Amino acid sequence: MEVGRALTKAFLAIVAALAILPQHTADGGWQLRAYALITSPPNEIGDTFAGVAGVLAFLWIIVTVWLQSQELAEQRKELSATRDELKLTREAHQKQVNILEKQASIYEIEQKDRAEKRAKDQFDQMLRALADLVGNEREWGEPWVPSTTRPHMLNLGTSVFNLKDPQSVDEAIKQAVSSSQHCHETLDGYFASQTPFSKSGKMDAYIACLAFVKDVMGLYDDLGPDQKLRFDFLGLTQLSENLRALLEMNIWLESEAT
């Protein structure tokens, strides 16, 4: 707007300057252009003012277009600045999202590690209890001994948990797996050869032991990868199958099997 006003004033100043300039007359004299305009016919006066108005209108069209171009340039700058701000905002938001995702991932890993640690501690406790249980000979009653065995050779009979001084919990359990498997195979041999043998009591103790082994096995899904490998290495599944097979055999005293 200031530019338009300045151009208008400059143009009117030029018109005014031209109006006060002298000009030759037809009779060889001089007169001011303004006086010549005033004394001109009305149609010439109108044409003169129309020409001045047309020039002013043209100037204002130019000024308007120029002002609009300036406004559009400012708007483009503002839009560019807005886009830059939005880009920075998106980048900052994405960084926050990435940080939150990393924190969530770390939290999940920590939660998983704590859960696996709790499961391992419980696994260790239950394995120690199981090792103590299978190592307690008084829990399991007498071994199954063939009727043809002489009294001084009772050690030739078979028992489920015949452990030989295990040096660790894991070794005790592995011996229990091997011993129970050997006991099952030996008793199968007695039946196959129709060898009579003494039946044993304590069936309830073996049922309780099988239930405890199943409780230990129930921890498998919560264990970490290393403890799952340990679980498989110990052969707890095989121990469970051995005990179940023994409990299904006709080797128990009737008072215990009912």
Give the domain ranges of the chain.
Answer: 2-99, 115-257
Q: How many residues does the chain have?
A: 258
pLDDT confidence of 153, banded at 50, 70, 90? very low
Give the pLDDT of residue 154: 41
Give the pLDDT of residue 138: 75
What average pLDDT score do residues 214-224 get? 94
More confident residue, 235 or 30: 235
Task: Specify whether the CB–CB gap between 67 and 59 falls below 8 A.
Answer: no
Nearest residue to 223 (alpha-carbon basis) of 105, 108, 117: 117
Nearest residue to 203 (alpha-carbon basis) of 170, 238, 251: 251
**214-to-143, 230, 236 alpha-carbon distances in Å:** 24, 16, 9
The answer to whether residue 186 scores a pLDDT higher than 60 is yes
pLDDT confidence of 258, banded at 50, 70, 90? very low
Give the pLDDT of residue 232: 95
More confident residue, 36 or 125: 125
What is the Cβ-side half-sphere exposure of residue 225, based on CA atoms within 13 angstroms? 0
pLDDT confidence of 20, banded at 50, 70, 90? low
The answer to whether residue 104 scores a pLDDT higher than 50 is yes
What is the Cβ-side half-sphere exposure of residue 166, based on CA atoms within 13 angstroms? 21
- The answer to whether the predicted template modeling score (pTM) of the entire model surpasses 0.75 is no
Which segment of 29-38, 114-123, 139-148 scores lowest on mean pLDDT?
29-38
Encoding tokens for residue 74?
């400012």
Give the pLDDT of residue 77: 87
More confident residue, 232 or 19: 232
Helical spans, DSSP H, in 20-147 = 33-38, 42-134
Task: Specify whether the CB–CB gap between 19 and 33 falls below 8 A.
Answer: yes
**232-to-21, 223, 229, 235 alpha-carbon distances in Å:** 117, 12, 5, 5
Task: Specify whether the CB–CB gap between 255 and 201 falls below 8 A.
Answer: yes
Environment class of 212 (CB within 10 Å of its CB; exposed 0-12, middle 13-18, buried 19+)? middle
Give the pLDDT of residue 39: 59
Dist CA 39 CA 19 (whole Å)? 13
Residues 6+ apart with CB under 8 A from 218: none
Environment class of 134 (CB within 10 Å of its CB; exposed 0-12, middle 13-18, buried 19+)? buried
Give the pLDDT of residue 8: 67
Amino acid at 154: L
Encoding tokens for residue 137?
């000979």
Query: H or E stretch including 30?
Result: strand 30-32
The answer to whether residue 78 scores a pLDDT higher than 50 is yes
Average pLDDT over the chain reads 81
What average pLDDT score do residues 35-60 get? 67
The answer to whether residue 201 scores a pLDDT higher than 80 is no
